[in-house]
């Protein structure tokens, strides 16, 4: 992803070599995800670097979606990757499914951090249920889940009315494979710019359904 000029390299990895932009292009090559994960599980630094370059942005966006500030989100994402690498080093990582695993690790760290901060501010014994309630995602209740389900269903319907090529681009970009936009472009035979243009068009259509009426 090209979101950052300072996307973190593998901890301890040398920074010498190609520029950040060149490294991104290397990471975006069709080197398949499975072989990268296999190599990372063997402890290969270059594979970890490629995976971090590819998936870090989604980890950060997932944290932003939970309401973290961008600087904090980037710090926690970095820590999540370091934890994963450490778990691999000590032999506690036997599978690597990304970006899901990194997002789960980062979310856990964000909650832990919030608990610590809440505890420090109170200067008293932690009432776990109260903190848990305070930390719970405000959207995470039955009523709003139902609402979200309804909106998702409507968005799915709107998506079904988009062109077949737009649907394919959207599903590749947001499906579970964790493809970068460059990889999506290679799969569908379009330019990266065209893929992003299509995504923006589809986003605009679905945004109305997912965001609903603006609150007054």
Partner 1 sequence: MSTQHATSAELELYVLGALDGERAQRVEVHCSACDACAAALAGEARLETAFEKVAVRSVQTVPRPARAAAYGAAGLLAMAAAVGLWMGRLPIASGAGEGTAAASHHPMDDGAILDARNDALDGG
Residue (10 or 170) nearer to partner 1, CB? 170
Least CB distance from residue 120 to partner 1, whole Å? 21
Distance of CA 147 to the CA centre of its chain: 23
Residue tagged 């990266």 (tokens)? 192
Q: Please choose, from the candidates 62, 61, 49, the residue with its C-alpha nearest in 3D space to the C-alpha of residue 18.
A: 49
Footprint of partner 1 on 125-164 (CB under 8 A): 139, 148, 151-153, 155-157, 159-160
Distance of CA 38 to the CA centre of its chain: 20
Least CB distance from residue 9 to partner 1, whole Å? 15
Contacts with partner 1 by CB under 8 A: the residue count is 45
Q: Please choose, from the candidates 168, 201, 197, 162, the residue with its C-alpha nearest in 3D space to the C-alpha of residue 184.
A: 168
Residue (39 or 55) nearer to partner 1, CB? 55
Residue 198 and residue 139: Cα distance in Å, rounded?
29
Burial class (CB in 10 A: 0-12, 13-18, 19+), 96: buried
Exactly one of 174, 188, 190, 194 binds partner 1 (CB under 8 A); which one? 174
| 211: contact with partner 1 by CB under 8 A | yes
Interface residues with partner 1 (CB under 8 A)?
1-6, 20-21, 57, 61-62, 64-65, 67, 69-71, 74, 139, 148, 151-153, 155-157, 159-160, 167, 170-171, 173-176, 180-181, 196, 199-200, 203, 206-207, 210-211
């Amino acid at each position: 992803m090209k979101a950052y000029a300072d996307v973190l390299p593998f901890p301890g990895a040398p920074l010498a070599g190609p520029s950040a932009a060149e490294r991104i292009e290397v990471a975006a090559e069709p080197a398949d995800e499975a072989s990268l994960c296999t190599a990372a599980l063997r402890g290969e630094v270059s594979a970890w670097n490629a995976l971090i370059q590819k998936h870090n942005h989604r980890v950060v966006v997932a944290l932003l979606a939970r309401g973290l500030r961008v600087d904090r989100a980037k710090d926690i994402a970095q820590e999540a990757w370091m934890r994963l690498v450490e778990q691999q080093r000590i032999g506690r990582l036997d599978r690597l499914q990304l970006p899901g695993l990194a997002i789960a690790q980062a979310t856990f760290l964000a909650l832990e951090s919030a608990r610590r901060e809440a505890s420090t501010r109170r200067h008293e014994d932690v009432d776990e249920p109260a903190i848990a309630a305070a930390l719970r995602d405000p959207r995470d209740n039955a009523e709003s889940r139902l609402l979200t389900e309804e909106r998702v269903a409507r968005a799915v319907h709107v998506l079904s009315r988009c062109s077949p090529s737009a649907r394919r681009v959207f599903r590749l970009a947001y499906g579970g494979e964790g493809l970068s936009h460059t990889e999506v472009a290679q799969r569908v035979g379009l330019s990266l710019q065209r893929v992003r243009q299509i995504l923006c068009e589809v986003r605009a259509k679905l945004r109305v359904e997912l965001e609903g009426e603006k609150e007054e």
